[in-house]
Amino acid sequence: MDPVTPVSHHNRFRLDEIRAGNAGEMCRLFGQVFGKPMSPAFWHWKYPHSGGHGIGVWDGDELVAHYGGAGVEVVLDGQLVHAVQICDVMVSPKVRQGVRKQSPIFLATSTFIDRFVGYGEEFLLGYGFPSNRALQIAVHLGFYAEVGKMSELRFPKVAARISDWLYRWQPVEPDQFTSHVGTVDLLWQQMQRSMPEAVLVKKDAARMSYRFLQHPEHRYHIWLLQQRFTGKTVAAVVLKEENDRILVMDIVGARSSFNQVLRQLAIAARRRWPQPLVFWLSTAYAEQLQIAGMETTMLPISTPANIWTKGPSPEQLMNRWWLTAGDTDFL
């Protein structure tokens, strides 16, 4: 990528893409803004490995703002398209000038979207997990429109029934995953067919390997739900063990199985862990799940759509994204 032409008051700010040579500056800014370090391995996994990009804004020799995105593949209306998950939107406290035009964060955001997002660009569309406040700022500036919300589902202690014996869970160790690639890909195909209206981040075996097995910092559990007598695999789920919860990162399989899968998961998780089982899911789909005793809470997180450049309209995307914790970069 060629250097971005400086745009600002008297050319005060310089813009350029974050690459391996200046990624250390981005990681330092991340630590200043979010209070925790970003390792070089995590930056490489999130950006170069995914085909993503980051736009930085320098004030003199100091990086003061950043807007990034990790590359993903998404199924939209039956077609596989390139998309970007927006992440690491940040500005140094030293130069916070509100969100007016020509501020560092405005320059980073507008430059990124202009260069990468929309019809004819590298990414057809973008999504992310901004707080409601951050989304409203972006809406005010004309970058985004809201097309969905996120909910948190908490599962109760589920009493096992005799019929639950018909199912069993098979844990998949990382070194065993390659033997289940065909099964996971079949489940992904079933999911696509059963949810033609949904906008789905690709969840095949290759994506699962990248997102969960190759993550440089977190470790996850991959389980397969099988019918005990036939051995047929009903679904694949990914779990993350945290201090105060067991987080369902992803579920892959036919939509018609999800209530049963989550019920079986609630039973198995309670047997293994004392922490509650929690699932993040787009609100429009969370409302369709039916599990007795499940508690649903709206999260302060919205789903954005790009309106800065021409692309699929908010009306085309409204309440269609199926997003889970596994579609984030930070969990």
pLDDT of residue 12: 81
Asked if the structure places residue 317 within a domain, the reply is no
Tell me the whole-structure pTM to 2 decimals: 0.92
320 — pLDDT class (breaks 50, 70, 90) = very high
| Number of other CB atoms surrounding residue 158 within 10 Å | 21
Q: Quote the number of domains for the chain.
A: 2
pLDDT at 2: 43
For residues 100 and 298, the model is more confident at 298
Residue 319 is assigned to a structural domain of this protein: no
3 falls within a domain: no
In this prediction, residue 9 has a pLDDT band, given cuts at 50, 70 and 90, of very low
Question: 225 with 122, same domain?
Answer: no
What is the reported pLDDT for 95? Answer: 75
Domain range for 97: 9-127
Per-residue pLDDT reduced to its tens digit, 229-278? 999 999 999 999 999 999 999 999 999 999 999 999 999 998 999 999 99
The residue ranges of DSSP E strands in the chain, in sequence order, are: 13-17, 53-59, 62-76, 79-91, 125-127, 144-154, 167-172, 199-201, 221-227, 233-241, 246-253, 277-282, 295-306, 321-322
Kindly report, residue by residue over 38-93, the tens digit of the pLDDT: 999 999 999 999 999 999 999 999 999 999 999 999 999 999 999 999 999 999 98
Compute the distance between CA of residue 65 and CA of residue 107 in angstroms, rounded to an integer.
9
Would residue 234 count as lying in a domain? Answer: yes
What's the gap between Cα 221 and its chain centre?
18
Please determine, for residue 176, whether its predicted confidence score (pLDDT) is greater than 70: yes
Q: Is 37 inside any structural domain?
A: yes
Is-contact 102 7, C-beta < 8 A? yes
User: What secondary structure letter does DSSP report for 124?
Assistant: S
Task: Tell me, yes or no, whether 157 and 296 share the same domain.
Answer: yes
pLDDT at 276: 94
Same domain, 112 and 193: no
The answer to whether position 193 is within a domain reads yes
Of 83-87, 171-175, 289-293, 315-319, which gets the smallest average pLDDT?
289-293
Phi, psi (rounded to 5 degrees) for 127: -150, 170
> Tell me, what's the pLDDT at 202?
98
Does residue 102 or residue 123 have the better pLDDT?
123
- Residues 98-114, mean pLDDT to the nearest whole number: 86
For helices 132-141 and 104-116, give the axis angle rounded to 10 degrees: 80
Q: Is 225 found in the same domain as 113?
A: no
Specify whether 193 is located in the same domain as 295: yes
Q: Which of 18, 1, 13 is nearest to 106 (CA)?
A: 13
Do residue 285 and residue 195 come from a single domain? yes
Same domain, 173 and 227: yes
The answer to whether residue 40 sits within a structural domain is: yes
Q: Are residues 40 and 89 in the same domain?
A: yes
Q: How confident is the model over 192-199, as a mean pLDDT?
A: 98
Q: Are 298 and 304 in contact (CB under 8 A)?
A: no
Q: Give which of 134, 233, 142 is closest to 182, Cα–Cα.
A: 233
Residues 276 and 274: their CA atoms lie apart, in Å, by: 7
Same domain, 30 and 168: no
120 dihedral zone (left: phi>0; alpha: psi -120 to 50; beta) = left
14 contact partners, CB below 8 Å, separation of at least 6: 6, 57, 58
Range name among 16-30, 95-109, 133-147 with the lowest pLDDT average: 95-109
Burial of 20 (0-12, 13-18, 19+ CB in 10 A): exposed
Burial class (CB in 10 A: 0-12, 13-18, 19+), 304: buried
- Verify that 241 and 281 share a domain, yes or no: yes
Bridge partners of 298?
151
Whether 192 is in a domain gets the answer: yes
Rounded-to-integer distance, Cα 239 and Cα 262, Å: 12
- Do 117 and 172 lie in one domain? The reply is no
Computed over every residue of the chain, the mean pLDDT equals 93
Do 112 and 215 share a domain, yes or no?
no
Average pLDDT over residues 108-113: 97
Both tokens assigned to 263 = 């019920």
Q: Each residue of 281-309: pLDDT tens digit?
A: 999 999 999 887 889 999 999 999 999 99
* CATH label of the domain that carries residue 226: 3.40.630.30
Strand positions, DSSP E, 129-232:
144-154, 167-172, 199-201, 221-227
Residue 158's pLDDT is: 75
